[in-house]
C-alpha cells in the first residue's frame, strides 16, 4: 500500500472493467484520481466503491474524443488535487467483429477518435502541467493485438499498434522533462466489453488463446498500471508492458 502516495492521476475509460480496476488500485495505493467516462452509471459505480474504501476520486462524464474534455480533465486534476502526475489513456470505442470492407467511414473515424486521438489530446494538455510538477508517467493502454491480429478487428489492431509507436515517439520527445511514456498491453481479459462478442460466457472463456488456459482479470492488468505509474518503473520509458497470459509467445 502507498506505492502511489501523493500522486494525482487522470484515467479515461474509468467506468469499464480495466479502467475501473485501475482506478480502484490507484486509489488503494494512495493516488487521487480523476475518472472520465461517457457512461455515467458505470463511472459512478466505480467511484462509489472507491469512496466507500476511503479513496479519493472525482468524476467527469464526457466524450474523450473532444479536445475540451482533455483540457477540462487536466484542469479538474489541478483544481481538485493541486497537481497531475499520471495519465492513463484507456478509453475504447468498439465495433462488432467485421472485416474493414463492411465498415462505414463514420465508424472507422469514431474508433480512431476515441481509441487513438483521445490519447493524443489528453497527453498534449497534460504534459505541460506534469512538467511544472517535476515530471510524471503517461500510460497508453494498447493491446496484444498491437502485435498480432485476430479476424474482424482491423480498426482495433490499427489503433492499438499506433498507440505503441506513439508512446515511443513521446518518450523520445519528453524524456528531458522527466516524463516517462509507456504502453500497457492487456491480452484477452474477462470484461463486459469482451464478453459481449460471444453468445455465452462459456464460449468467451474458451476463446482465450493463452498459454495459461484462461482469460485474464481486470485486476491483473491494473497491477501493471500501478507499476508503470509508480517510481518502481523509474528506469522504464518507451516500452510496452505486455500482460497477455502468453498469447503472443507462439
- The DSSP string of 221-244 is HHHHHHHHHSGGGTT--S-EEEES
pLDDT at 195 over 70: no
- Residue from 29, 41, 33 nearest 8 by CA: 33
pLDDT at 205 over 90: no
Phi-psi region of 30 (alpha: psi -120 to 50; beta: other; left: phi over 0): left
Residue 226 near residue 4 (C-beta atoms within 8 A): yes
- Quote the pTM value: 0.95
Separation between Cα atoms, residue 184 and residue 240, nearest integer Å: 6
Residue 206 has a pLDDT of 77
Catalytic residue among 26, 81, 93, 156: 156
Active-site residue flag, 247:
no
pLDDT tens column, 135-149: 999 999 999 999 999
pLDDT tens column, 24-44: 999 999 999 999 999 999 999
Indicate the pLDDT class of residue 131, thresholds 50, 70 and 90. very high
Separation between Cα atoms, residue 175 and residue 188, nearest integer Å: 31
Kindly list the structural domains of the chain, giving each domain's residue range(s) and its CATH number in brackets, ordered by start: 8-243 (3.40.50.720)
pLDDT at 199 over 80: no
Amino acid at each position: 500500500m502507498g506505492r502511489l502516495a501523493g500522486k494525482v492521476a487522470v484515467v479515461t475509460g474509468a467506468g469499464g472493467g480495466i479502467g475501473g480496476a485501475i482506478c480502484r488500485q490507484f486509489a488503494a495505493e494512495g493516488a487521487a484520481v480523476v475518472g472520465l467516462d461517457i457512461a455515467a452509471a458505470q463511472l459512478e459505480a466505480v467511484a462509489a466503491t472507491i469512496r466507500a474504501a476511503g479513496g479519493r476520486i472525482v468524476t467527469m462524464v464526457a466524450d474523450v474524443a473532444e479536445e475540451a474534455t482533455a483540457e477540462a480533465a487536466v484542469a479538474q486534476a489541478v483544481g481538485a488535487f493541486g497537481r497531475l502526475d499520471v495519465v492513463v489513456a484507456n478509453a475504447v470505442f468498439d465495433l462488432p467483429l467485421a472485416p474493414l470492407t463492411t465498415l462505414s467511414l463514420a465508424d472507422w473515424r469514431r474508433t480512431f477518435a476515441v481509441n487513438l486521438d483521445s490519447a493524443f489530446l489528453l497527453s498534449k494538455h497534460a504534459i505541460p502541467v506534469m512538467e511544472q510538477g517535476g515530471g510524471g508517467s503517461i500510460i497508453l493502454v494498447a493491446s496484444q493485438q498491437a502485435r498480432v491480429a485476430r479476424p474482424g478487428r482491423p480498426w482495433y489492431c490499427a489503433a492499438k499498434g499506433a498507440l505503441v509507436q506513439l508512446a515511443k515517439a513521446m518518450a523520445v520527445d519528453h524524456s528531458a522533462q522527466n516524463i516517462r511514456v509507456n504502453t500497457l498491453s492487456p491480452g484477452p481479459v474477462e470484461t463486459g466489453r469482451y464478453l459481449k462478442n460471444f453468445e455465452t460466457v462459456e464460449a468467451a472463456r474458451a476463446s482465450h488463446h493463452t498459454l495459461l488456459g484462461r482469460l485474464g482479470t481486470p485486476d491483473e492488468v491494473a497491477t501493471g498500471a500501478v507499476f508503470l505509474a509508480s517510481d518502481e518503473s523509474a528506469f522504464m520509458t518507451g516500452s510496452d508492458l505486455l500482460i497477455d497470459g502468453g498469447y503472443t509467445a507462439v
